[in-house]
Structure 1
C-alpha cells in the first residue's frame, strides 16, 4: 500500500538529508584554528582546507558510485547504508590525531554523504515532475538553508567551551536521527521499477545521461554555478581573516547570509508558477552576471573594495546562482524517467566534483585581494548562462527523447 506523504513532510525530510551532507562542511569551517594543532599542523597552515576538499571529493564520488544502487535496492535501504558509512567516517575523523588519518576518514564521511546528498533530486523525481518538481526542489533548498544558517553558529558555540571533536560527534547523532526518520518516511521507488545491478544496464544509463543534450547541459550549467559558490565556500574564512581582518565576525556573517537565500527560494516558487522554471533559471543567472560584473569592476581597483559593498554583491550573486541548483537539476532530470537514481548520482557527482575543481583554479590565487574571486564568479556565471541557452535551443518534448533499452 503506497505511503501517503504531505508535501511538507517530503520537503522537511529531504532538506534534512541534504543538510546532513552539508553539516560535514559547515561545522568544520569555524573550527579550522582548533583542528590544526590537534592534527599536527602549524598555525595558519593552508593544509587544513584539505579536510573540506577531500570531503567534497567523497560526496561527489559517493553519488556517482552509489547512485545506481538506489535504483536496484531502493531509496531507503541505500540511504541507511550511506548514513552508516557517514557515521563511520565522522567517528574516525573525531578520533584522528594526524592529517593523513583525518583525511582518510573525511573521505569516507563524504562518501557516505553522497547518498543523502543525492536523495533531494532522486526522491523528488520519484514523487513529482516538471514545474511542480522545481517548486518542491526550491522549497527543499529554502528549508535546507536553515542548516548553513544555524550550523556555523552552533559549531562556534560548542567551540567556545568544548572541542571540535564534540562538534563532529553531533554529526553522528544527526545521522542516527536520519536513519530513524528514513524508516518513518518509507520507500518511494515501486518494486516494479527496480533495475538489476549490472554493468551493461548501468553503462546504458550513463550513455543516456551524457547523450541527452538537455540533461548534460543543465548539469554543466549547475556545475559552473556551483563552481563560483565553492570559491566563496573555500576562501571566505581566509578572506575575512587575512584580507579584511574580520575573523571574529565570520561565523555570524556567514550564517546571516543564508537568511536572504532561504527567503529567495521560497519566493522563487511564486515566480516558477508564474513564468515557469526555465525562465526563472535564466533570469537568476542573468542577475548574477550583472552583480558579478559590478563586483569585478570594484575589485580591479586596489583589490580590496569596501567590505560591506563587496559582501552585498557577493551575497546577491550567491542567491541568484544558488537558485539555479534545484531548478537546473530538476530540469536536467526531466527526461530521465526510471533512471532518476543513476542520473541524480551522476548529476550530483559532476556538479559537486566539477565545482570543487573549478573553484580550486581561483581560490588558490586568493592571497591579499578578492580580484580572483570576482573574476571567477563572472566567468563561471557567463558560462552557466550560455549552457542554459544551449540546452533550451535543442529542447525536445520528453516523449521525443529515446529511452534506454
Structure 2
C-alpha cells in the first residue's frame, strides 16, 4: 500500500484526512511524551536519592518510576471509557493537561511525599496518550496493517530511550533534576497543539454511551473474547520482564559492574537495538502474518532467557558486562517485536470497543507488568541472576498465553 494513502473518520459529518506518515509521527510523539516521564528521570536517580535521602529510608529511586507506572495503569480504564464516549481528541487534551500539572508539581516538590503524589498524577496524565494512541491506531487501521503501523510507531518511539536520557544528562549539566522534570512541560505544550490540529478519529457511529449497562457489555466482550484476553495476559508477562530492565539496569550497571557513569550510553545502545528490530518487523509481518510471528518471537524470547540464565548461573551471577548486556539487548528487541503484534491480536475483534480494549490492555500491561517487575527488582543486589531468571519465568508464562491467543478464533 502506498504511504501517501489518506485515512479519516467521519466526525459530525466531516472527514479529516491524514497520511499514514502523519499518523505514525503523531502517535510516536505522544508515546515519547508518555515515556519522557520515565526515561528522563533515569539519569537523575542519584540526585533524587540525595535530595530525599532515599538510602536512609531504605528506598530505591525506582520508586518514583513505580508510582508513575501505577498512575498510568489506573488512569487507562477511565480515559478508555471516556474516549469511546466523547472521542479521542478532547480526552487526550485533558490527559495532556493532567500530565503537565503532575510534571510541574514534581519539579517543585518540597518533600518526598509531594513528589510521589505528583509523580502519580503525572502518570495519570501519561495514561491518556498511552491508551488512546492504540485506540486511534485501531480507529484508522486493522489487522496486519495495524500491526505494521504500530511496529513503525514503536520503532520511532524508541528514539526516546536513545535521546531522552542524553537530553536528561545534558539538562543535569546546567541544572538539577527539577529542571529535567520541568522540561516535560515543553513536550506537553507541543503535544497539546498537535492534538488540536490532528483532529478526531472516532467515527460517530462507534461512540458509546456512559450508561453502566453498555460499559459492562463492553467489558464482558473484552474478557470473553479469547484472542483478546490471552493476548493481554501474554503482554503483561513480557512487559514485566522489560520493566525489570527499566527499573534495574541502572542499579546493575552501578552496583554489579561499576559502570554508572556510562549508563546513558548503554541505555541508548539498547534502544538502538530495539528500534532496528522493530523496523524489520513490518516486512516480516507482510510475509508471515502476526499470529505466526508472535508465537515464534515468544519461543525465541524463552530460548534467549534460558541461555541468559545458564550464563548467569555458570558465572555465579556475574557474567561479563558484554555477555549480560548482549543478552539484554536481544531480549529487549524480542520484547519490542512482541508488543505491536500482541496489541494487534488483542485489538482485532474490538472495532467498536477499541477504547475499552486498549484500556484493559494498558491496565493489565502496565499494572501487571509493574507488579511483576517489582517482585524481581526487590531481589537484585550484587548479581544479575534475578533479572535473567525473572525473564525466563515470565517469558514462559507469556509464551503459554500467546499460544492460547493465536489458537483462539478472532471472535468468540
Normalising by the residue count of structure 2, what TM-score does the alignment of the two structures yield?
0.94
Aligned pairs for 1:5-404 within 5 A? 5-42=18-55, 46-301=59-314, 302-396=316-410, 398=411, 401=412
Q: Structure 1 stretch 331-340 or stretch 31-40: which is displaced more?
A: 31-40
State the secondary structure of the residue aligned to 1:295: helix
Q: Is the 8 A contact 1:225 1:322 kept in 2?
A: no
Runs of 4+ in structure 1 off by over 6 angstroms are: none
| SS state at 1:160 partner | helix
Which string of whole-angstrom CA distances, capped at 9 and with x for unpartnered residues, describes residues 27-74 of structure 1?
A: 111101112233343479534221100000000111122210001110
Native 8 Å contact 1:40 1:99 kept in 2? no
In the TM superposition, what whole-angstrom CA distance separates every residue of 1:248-294 from its partner, at most 9, and x where no partner exists?
01011101111121111110100000000111111212211111111
When the two chains are superposed, the root-mean-square deviation of aligned CA atoms in Å is 1.3
- Equivalent residue of 2:357, what SS? helix
Q: Give, in whole Å, the separation in 1 of the partners of 2:192 and 2:56.
A: 38
CA contact under 8 A between 2:83 and 2:132: conserved in structure 1? no
CA contact (8 A) 1:365 1:372 kept: yes
What's the CA shift string for 1:53-98, capped at 9, x where partnerless?
A: 0000000111122210001110000000000000000011001011
Which residue matches 2:9? none
Gap runs ≥5 in structure 1: none
Quote how far apart the aligned CAs of 1:165 are.
1.0
1:121–1:344 Cα contact (<8 Å) kept: yes
Q: Distance in 1 between matches of 2:142 and 2:36?
A: 28
Residues paired across the two proteins, number: 398
Q: Deviations over 1:356-381 (max 9, x none)?
A: 01111111111011111110101111
Contact 1:224/1:383 (8 A) holds in 2 = yes
1:342: Cα distance to partner?
1.1
Alignment check: 8 A CA contact 1:90 1:106 kept: yes
Cα distance change on mapping 1:318 and 1:308 into 2, 3 Å: same
- The farther-off stretch of 175-184 and 159-168 is 159-168
